[in-house]
């Protein structure tokens, strides 16, 4: 059953740096936003692919990690109370009239909004499926690539496969409600945050979960219900009993449903103008790596510039006939009041 429709000014598709800065720029102009992202956390590529990797070309920040940049952007946008919807992919985008769009997600959520901002990086992130024969038969019933609702995993015998942040985070978060928890990784070293690795090892030492080294070779079960897996390591083959498996093998970027939204595309990118970064459909904007125009540079700072100009046009759509007074945050008492610093 679909959830009740949400009505808002703008829906931002993508919660990476450009989407987060768009919340700030739109907020300064009193535009209310909801942000939808297929990942389970904000930050896009920055937090999912290189949370600890240093970035050197953000103005005024000589060095900043992907996670720190995301945290700072969230703090900057906090005064505007945007609503975030994680673990959801936009599957439908329909224009009903001028400044009237319906956005739907694979979780059954419907949004009625006046403008849409696509800030989806290189497209939607899709989980990399493990190369295991017959895995399709278990997907959605006992094999899951993301966690939407933790409660559905209560009392389950869970096997988490992977060694990155997502694998460690969900191992730690689900362990208290699982009947049993096993983490399987192909090697003893992990790519996750050291604190998460330490917490996992503490749970192992306390006998609250198991950690095994190896790779899954086969799935066992019937009618979509997993009963266990076979795995192998350098020491030999072994079995793991489980009725739920969460493989976190990383992500790949695909344009996904964006290709079906009626936008003119150039090599899987969305052409926009350079005045307001609007697409071929009035009221739909594209900022960041997803767009293309003459001279385009795929830099985060370029996306920030695009978000600022996009916001000016969004204001005009949402407030037709109202004069837009350009103001500086350094000198405008009204903007400072919105930011809570007046």
Q: What tens digit of pLDDT does each residue of 153-173 get?
A: 999 999 999 998 889 989 999
CATH 3.50.50.60 domain position(s) in the chain: 6-126+252-339, 129-249
Give the SS3 label for residue 170.
Answer: helix
Contacts of 77 (CB under 8 A, 6+ apart): 20, 21, 23, 24, 27
Q: Pick the more confident residue, 25 or 191.
A: 25
Coil, helix or strand at residue 74: helix
Question: What token pair was written down for 130?
Answer: 């493990």
Distance CA 144, CA 167 (A): 12
- For residue 256, the model assigns a pLDDT of 63
Specify the 3-state DSSP secondary structure of 338: helix
pLDDT exceeds 90 at position 181 = yes
Where does the pLDDT of residue 77 fall: very low under 50, low under 70, confident under 90, or very high at 90 and above? Answer: very high
Q: What percentage of the chain carries pLDDT values higher than 70?
A: 94
The CA distances from residue 290 to 126, 128, 255, in Å, are 15, 20, 9
pLDDT value at residue 50: 64
Task: Supply angle C-alpha 241, 142, 180, rounded to 5.
Answer: 40
Q: Would you state the pLDDT for residue 1?
A: 41
The pLDDT of residue 278 is above 60? yes
* 137 pLDDT higher than 90: yes
Higher-confidence residue of 338 and 176: namely 176
Query: pLDDT per residue over 284-307, tens digit each?
Result: 999 999 999 999 999 999 999 999
* Joined tokens for residue 68: 């720190």
CATH superfamily placement of domain 129-249: FAD/NAD(P)-binding domain (3.50.50.60)
Residue that wins the pLDDT comparison between 268 and 294:
294
CATH of 6-126+252-339, one of 3.50.50.60, 3.40.50.9100, 3.40.50.300, 3.30.70.1350: 3.50.50.60
Q: 3-state class of 30 per DSSP?
A: coil
pLDDT band at 41 (very low <50, low <70, confident <90, very high): confident
Q: What is the mean pLDDT of the chain?
A: 91
Q: Which band of pLDDT confidence, cut at 50, 70 and 90, is reported for residue 133?
A: confident
Q: Which of 2-6, 19-23, 211-215, 244-248 shows the lowest per-residue confidence on average (mean pLDDT)? A: 2-6
Looking at residue 266, what DSSP letter applies?
Answer: B
The three-point CA angle 11-17-22 to 5° equals 40
- pTM confidence score: 0.69
CA 275, 281, 287, 290 torsion-angle sign: negative
Q: Indicate whether 78 pLDDT > 90.
A: yes
pLDDT of amino acid 205: 97
User: Using a CB cutoff of 8 Å and minimum separation of 24, what contacts does 171-177 make?
Assistant: 171/200, 171/203, 171/209, 172/196, 172/199, 172/200, 172/203, 173/147, 174/147, 174/150, 175/203, 175/208, 175/209, 177/150, 177/151, 177/153
């Amino acid at each position: 059953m679909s959830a009740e429709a949400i009505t808002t000014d703008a829906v931002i598709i993508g919660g990476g740096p450009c989407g987060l800065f768009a919340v700030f720029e739109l907020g300064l102009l009193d535009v209310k936003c909801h942000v939808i992202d297929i990942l389970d956390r904000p930050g896009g590529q920055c937090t999912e692919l290189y949370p600890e990797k240093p970035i050197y070309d953000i103005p005024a920040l000589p060095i900043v990690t992907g996670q720190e940049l995301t945290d700072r952007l969230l703090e900057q946008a906090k005064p505007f109370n945007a609503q975030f919807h994680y673990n959801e992919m936009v599957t439908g985008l329909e224009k009903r009239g001028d400044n009237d769009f319906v956005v739907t997600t694979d979780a059954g959520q419907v949004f009625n909004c006046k403008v849409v901002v696509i800030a989806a990086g290189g497209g939607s992130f899709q989980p990399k499926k493990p190369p295991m024969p017959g895995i399709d038969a278990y997907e959605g019933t006992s094999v899951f690539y993301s966690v939407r609702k933790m409660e559905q995993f209560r009392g389950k015998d869970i096997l988490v496969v992977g060694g990155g942040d997502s694998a460690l985070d969900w191992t730690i978060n689900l362990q208290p409600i699982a009947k049993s928890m096993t983490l399987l990784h192909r090697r003893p070293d992990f790519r996750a945050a050291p604190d998460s690795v330490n917490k996992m090892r503490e749970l192992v030492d306390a006998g609250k979960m198991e950690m095994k080294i190896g790779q899954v070779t086969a799935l066992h079960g019937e009618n979509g219900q997993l009963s266990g897996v076979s795995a192998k390591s350098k020491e030999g083959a072994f079995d793991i009993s489980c009725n739920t498996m969460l493989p976190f093998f990383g992500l790949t970027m695909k344009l996904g449903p964006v290709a079906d939204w009626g936008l003119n595309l150039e090599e899987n990118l969305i052409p926009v103008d350079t005045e307001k970064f609007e697409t071929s459909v009035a009221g739909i904007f594209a900022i960041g790596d997803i767009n293309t125009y003459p001279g385009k540079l795929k830099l985060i700072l370029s996306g920030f510039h695009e978000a600022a100009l996009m916001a000016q046009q969004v204001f005009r759509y949402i407030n037709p006939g109202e004069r837009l007074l350009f103001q500086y945050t350094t000198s405008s008492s009204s903007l400072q009041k919105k930011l809570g610093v007046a």
